[in-house]
Structure 1
């Protein structure tokens, strides 16, 4: 195929009727390139003998049309890819997973929240401001789909992937960390960068707890008090610190060598003192979460370990994932985990107290991080970043899709706030999103 002033030009096959065979033969001996009818593409051509093509072909006619619509109607080949996964509405208090017809369900629901798009990709010409098709473009002219959230603004300044985002409670500052070895401080009112902290090492993770900010660095955890400006260095890690968590008055750090180090703050000496090193993982610990008096750790060794917060002993090792466990999350009495094996697993305790998988949700791509929060109606929503540069938003527990966020590169950090949330991607860009009232809900 050729390109003529930005518009696609296809090889015309020529008329097929007997009356036009001689005319068609003349075309065989001349240049027979013709344009596809613009109005036919839009589904509203009314000319009986239109001089432009009313079909699109590739090469010499082999293969099906590449257009997702045929005179305004979706073809069978494209309906499945152009209609969002839907399902039954979320039922408050229900603990039955996957009833929304997500990828792990039957996919045949008829929810009003089903989102229909022309093509599930952002228009690359729209990104550069040069798309000439406008509303008729078959690609998205938006960084998200769905009606439950919208982008407020974007914060630019980091030069590499954003690996940590923290919003301290009661603070008017947002902190973002990156592999460009800096932490940027943003004013929440103006959206302007209020300061840049050079750390001399790649930021692997960030965490805010009370007045304290913690940053995971190579061979070090940096801590500073945002109220008193006190700054401390916690030594002991061997390699990059990938994950941080706080529980039972202890700070935990997941490290590249497979250890989990624990510190406790001493109010007398005003410093964090080492307490223990939790050993058992054979590869880097990339995710930590605390819940139900337990510490849960996910590792590059494909396993999740469950630790007792009182005696710091390992209670159970979960090995159902077949690739790196990238993120773990506690929701009510459940543990959720995601992996590069393209699954999200939901775990629940049995009568014996051990965790077992109660539901597995499958995606088409590997998963990078999970973040749970509530929408404006206080319904739980799970945000799942995938390595296809998207974030999916799902209702819990139905796993019914609410919308999708697109990015230029993989989103590695998601952080919730009051009625807003933040995403950071591989280009160094941080975006601020706000929750919207559910426009698809039927008034009572």
Structure 2
């Protein structure tokens, strides 16, 4: 097969369609299709009854800023559903103006479709490939560098306060330290088990491994092991001077730091989830936990009692995020739900955003213009980038495998880690200029 045969440029076997002299308007309308075999680069019919060119884009006749496409949907005002499911309560701007095309997409390329052979490193078409040869689509951020070293999925990324090192944990049972100036790996620590999660609070780094939480002070090199978990530690969060850990057996364990003994003392065990606790977040004097039992539990930080159980998701609640007065949750049920506290004090869904794939992780940050952004990792090996609260598309990041960890950095930086073990360093652009 000729290299150019995929498009018909310079392929001597490809012919233009010849229209019969007696063709009627009905015939033309019926045959206004693009030849499937021409698209595949192997049409040998002469004359061919179908088009050997792509159909022109439909002309827009509206003077509206969005061309009039989907205007009715963009103008919807979402309302907070009552317990009965009927629209009630104050109006919300969630989802208003959502949609948009593919920012930063090169002209003539298939929309939002990255070349799988490019991702694998073996596409033979090069610049002539009709699919994207890029790790992202956006005019708002750029890829700075890949950091390679882990042999299995990256499960945690953190930047402890006062440190010039970036730390990443992996299912290859190691934690790696990266120099923030050079991007070089400057240290590898064997954890003796898969790293399920990793966070930092001040100079402390907390690492969840099977049957334990490791605590390490990056300034004093103090190394502690917090016992109590049974099984893998999947999630960690700090709030109200407690360290909380979501455990494989469904419990949430809490420790409190003792300055006298320079140690973490067991404080509580929160019981209620039936399966593993895989996501934790603290906000508005509450601890929120997401579980493989498809529920979200709301815990009062003062009493450590469960005050509400949310059952709207139909699959694993993978990640939770507090933004403004809202709680955002994502699930393998292919939805992101936005929750708001009602006058009764309970949380109810005010907006549901649907994805085509299961959603693995949520991360909120500000772009270079200080606008709120949501990064949403999906199990189709992509990260969707949205404006909040509109869910308008700002870009998309592609990866060889699922992105399991996302972390915010200083100066407009952010980091992603995928299931192949690769970290990538990204940066928001001061001016939304197209990237090469």
TM-score (norm 2): 0.81
CA distance in 1, matches of 2:16, 2:375: 51
Work out whether 1:96 is the aligned partner of 2:80: no
Equivalences for 1:49-88 in 2 at 5 Å?
Answer: 70=54, 73-74=56-57
Structure 1, residues 352-397: CA drift from partner, whole Å, max 9, x if none?
Answer: 1000000000000000000000001100000000000000000000
Match of 1:307 in 2: 299
CA distance in 2, matches of 1:162, 1:179: 7
Work out whether 1:421 is the aligned partner of 2:405: no
How far 1:146 sits from its partner (Å)?
A: 1.3
Q: Is the 8 A contact 2:335 2:358 kept in 1?
A: yes
Work out whether 1:272 is the aligned partner of 2:253: no
How far 1:59 sits from its partner (Å)?
A: 8.8
- Relative to 1, partners in 2 of residues 1:113 and 1:411: Cα closer, same or farther, differing over 3 Å? closer
Q: Is the 8 A contact 2:16 2:51 kept in 1?
A: no
Equivalences for 1:228-267 in 2 at 5 Å?
Answer: 228-267=220-259
CA distance in 2, matches of 1:13, 1:403: 38
Q: Is the 8 A contact 1:254 1:287 kept in 2?
A: yes
CA distance in 1, matches of 2:280, 2:70: 30
- Relative to 1, partners in 2 of residues 1:281 and 1:153: Cα closer, same or farther, differing over 3 Å? same
Match of 1:138 in 2: 130
How far 1:74 sits from its partner (Å)?
A: 4.0
How far 1:122 sits from its partner (Å)?
A: 2.1
- Relative to 1, partners in 2 of residues 1:139 and 1:309: Cα closer, same or farther, differing over 3 Å? same
Match of 1:217 in 2: 209
Match of 1:430 in 2: 423
Structure 1 segments of 4 or more deviating over 3 A? 3-19, 53-61, 64-67, 84-89, 111-117, 124-136
Structure 1, residues 400-442: CA drift from partner, whole Å, max 9, x if none?
Answer: 010000000000000011110000001000000000134379x
| Structural RMSD (CA) | 3.3
How far 1:114 sits from its partner (Å)?
A: 8.7
- Relative to 1, partners in 2 of residues 1:58 and 1:314: Cα closer, same or farther, differing over 3 Å? farther
Select which of 390, 393, 396 maps to 1:404.
396
Match of 1:26 in 2: none
Structure 1, residues 184-243: CA drift from partner, whole Å, max 9, x if none?
Answer: 000000000000000110000001001100000000000010000000000000000000
Select which of 382, 391, 394 maps to 2:383.
391
Structure 1, unaligned stretches of length 5 or more?
A: 20-40, 42-52, 77-83, 103-108
Match of 1:321 in 2: 313
- Relative to 1, partners in 2 of residues 1:155 and 1:114: Cα closer, same or farther, differing over 3 Å? closer
Match of 2:339 in 1: 347
Select which of 192, 196, 199 maps to 2:184.
192
Equivalent pairs counted in the alignment come to 386
Structure 2, unaligned stretches of length 5 or more?
A: 22-33, 60-68, 76-90
- Relative to 1, partners in 2 of residues 1:284 and 1:256: Cα closer, same or farther, differing over 3 Å? same
